[in-house]
A = this chain, B = another copy of it.
Amino acid sequence: MVLTNSRDPYASSFNLSDYLQERRRQVEVALDQALPVIYPETIYEAMRYSLMAGGKRLRPILCLATCELAGGTIEMAMPTACALEMVHTMSLIHDDLPAMDNDDYRRGRLTNHKVYGDGVAILAGDALLTYAFEYIACHTRGVPAERILAVVSDLGKAVGAAGLVGGQYVDLASEGDPDISLDTLDFIHTHKTAALLGVSVTSGAILAGASDTDIEHLSRYAQRIGLAFQIVDDVLDITATAEELGKSVGKDLRAKKATYPSFWGIEESRQQAQRLVNEAKAELQNFGELRQPLEAIANYITTRTY
């Protein structure tokens, strides 16, 4: 399913860069307010060190966008948006630990455990993961409790052994094995990356009370941009500069890690990503003007350089 040039009448009026900048600003303010520093300060500071370290805030922005798309408000989705970033941050903190990927830098800064030590980094991740669920349950306003529970449940599925953590485990178990199958590589990325992106997209719509059909379309959109995002990530690890990425490049090659380019080469990988992005956009065709951010984000995935 490929979307041909649709000559969208709204396309010219939508500025993704301005949109992302404004939404990112709103998310930063909400995250900052969500996590004040109290006694014992160090654990909160460690949580904030990684949570407030910038980043694209793509997951919260997707959640806010689909809530608006389905007729809801920014306010209804903001606690869930913050929770998604808390969970994402937890996964980065734990993934960077010496017992896992053993990374010293992240987003151009020292990783959490390099600043606070391994023990505090483990606890800061645990606290962020816990706070994510608490924050949705405790702070979501103007949404029926059944929908909030559905979001808690879906977030759990996306993050636990059947989702992100399961993907991290297979990634860890495959370390140093360049001979893993394409199926295994797909498993890693559909779980480690696409599952959380998926619930980022669907949770906003669920909070707004979207129909099951709409949620299915959005779920397929999310799966496709999630995988495309990872393919592009693998390509950029080879083609981008360290300055652009804010982290080490060529790391996958040095670690003899299987990547999409190692199966398909760079050019075919780019084409596969583009095909997925086109399929993702096709899922949006029955939504109205408010689909623009999701379309533009899909386009951005294949054109980004960091």
Listed in ascending order, the chain A residues whose CB lies under 8 Å from chain B are 38, 40, 42-44, 47, 90, 94, 97, 99-100, 117-123, 125-127, 129-131, 133-135, 137-138, 144-146, 148-150, 152-153, 155-157, 159-162, 165-166, 168-170, 172-173, 187
Q: Which residues from chain B contact A123 at a C-beta distance below 8 Å?
A: 94, 165, 168-169, 172
Q: Which residues from chain B contact A42 at a C-beta distance below 8 Å?
A: 169, 173
Given contacts A127-B165, A127-B166, 6 further A-B contacts (CB under 8 A): A99-B118, A123-B168, A130-B161, A133-B156, A137-B153, A144-B145
> A134 contacts B153, CB within 8 Å?
yes
Known: A119-B100, A126-B129. A138 touches B161 (CB 8 A): no
Q: Which residues from chain B contact A125 at a C-beta distance below 8 Å?
A: 126
Q: What is the count of identical protomers in the complex?
A: 2
Known: A172-B120, A173-B40. A159 touches B130 (CB 8 A): yes
Q: Name the residue on B nearest A168 (C-beta).
A: B123
Known: A99-B118, A125-B126, A148-B149. A156 touches B169 (CB 8 A): no
> A130 contacts B165, CB within 8 Å?
yes
Q: Which residues from chain B contact A120 at a C-beta distance below 8 Å?
A: 169, 172
Q: Which residues from chain B contact A119 at a C-beta distance below 8 Å?
A: 97, 99-100, 172
> B100 contacts A161, CB within 8 Å?
no
> A131 contacts B156, CB within 8 Å?
yes
> A138 contacts B156, CB within 8 Å?
yes
Known: A97-B122, A137-B156, A156-B134. A161 touches B129 (CB 8 A): no
- Some 6 contacts from A to B, beta carbons below 8 A apart, are A40-B169, A97-B119, A123-B165, A126-B159, A133-B155, A137-B153
Known: A43-B165, A129-B130, A160-B134. A122 touches B99 (CB 8 A): yes
**Nearest-CB distance from A34 to chain B (Å)?**
12
Known: A153-B134, A169-B43. A100 touches B122 (CB 8 A): yes
Bound-complex Cα distance A99 to B274 (A): 43
> A137 contacts B152, CB within 8 Å?
yes
Q: Which 4 A-B pairs have the closest CB atoms?
A: A134-B156, A99-B118, A145-B145, A130-B160
Bound-complex Cα distance A150 to B173 (A): 38
> B157 contacts A134, CB within 8 Å?
yes
Q: Name the residue on B nearest A146 (C-beta).
A: B145
Q: Name the residue on B nearest A147 (C-beta).
A: B145
Q: Which residues from chain B contact A135 at a C-beta distance below 8 Å?
A: 156
**Nearest-CB distance from A164 to chain B (Å)?**
8
Q: Which of B131, B146, B149, B166 contacts A161 (CB 8 A)?
A: B131
Bound-complex Cα distance A144 to B149 (A): 11
Bound-complex Cα distance A144 to B152 (A): 15
Bound-complex Cα distance A42 to B118 (A): 23
Q: Which residues from chain B contact A127 at a C-beta distance below 8 Å?
A: 160-161, 165-166
> A47 contacts B161, CB within 8 Å?
yes
Q: Which residues from chain B contact A97 at a C-beta distance below 8 Å?
A: 119, 122
